[in-house]
């Protein structure tokens, strides 16, 4: 049974940093593309970042480049999202997702499994 468990969310002041983690189980983690999405209240779930399996190619939402960094540790079956220079508008529930055959990592419908999400709140 595939499971994704996010952690690392919390309350942080504007300008601060957080690192989110997503631990995967029940699958051969290293071959899959992993993605991070976020959803603010009343908004659509939006793409944040993604990282391919073996090749490790990364993708970012244009508006977040330079502040967010995605990485993975295949030995630990874990993907990370390092977030810095956080802004109040980064407040959202952050979800990780995994996909078997992903053509466009930016599209949420390409992903097969989702975690339960972790809340990130940035105060001004």
How many Å is the Cα radius of gyration of the chain?
Answer: 13
Q: What are 56-98's pLDDT values in tens digits?
A: 799 999 999 899 999 999 999 999 999 999 999 999 999 999 9
Pairing relationship of beta strands 10-13 and 68-73 according to DSSP bridges: unpaired
Alpha-carbon span 88 to 108, nearest angstrom: 23
Compare 56 and 5 and report the one with higher pLDDT: 5
Q: Which residues contact 101 (CB under 8 A, 6 or more apart)?
A: none
- At residue 56, the pLDDT reads 78
Q: Please say if the pLDDT value at position 55 is more than 70.
A: no
């Amino acid at each position: 049974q595939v499971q994704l468990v996010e952690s690392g969310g919390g309350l942080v002041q504007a300008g601060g940093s957080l690192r989110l983690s997503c631990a995967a189980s029940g699958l051969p983690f290293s071959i899959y593309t992993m993605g991070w999405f976020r959803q603010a209240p009343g908004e659509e779930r939006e793409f944040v970042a993604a990282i391919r399996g073996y090749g490790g190619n990364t993708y970012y939402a244009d508006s977040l480049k330079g502040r967010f960094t995605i990485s993975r540790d295949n030995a630990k079956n874990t993907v990370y999202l390092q977030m810095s220079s956080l802004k109040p508008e980064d407040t959202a529930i952050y979800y990780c997702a995994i996909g078997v055959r992903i053509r466009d990592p930016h599209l949420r419908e390409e992903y097969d499994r989702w975690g339960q999400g972790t809340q990130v709140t940035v105060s001004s």
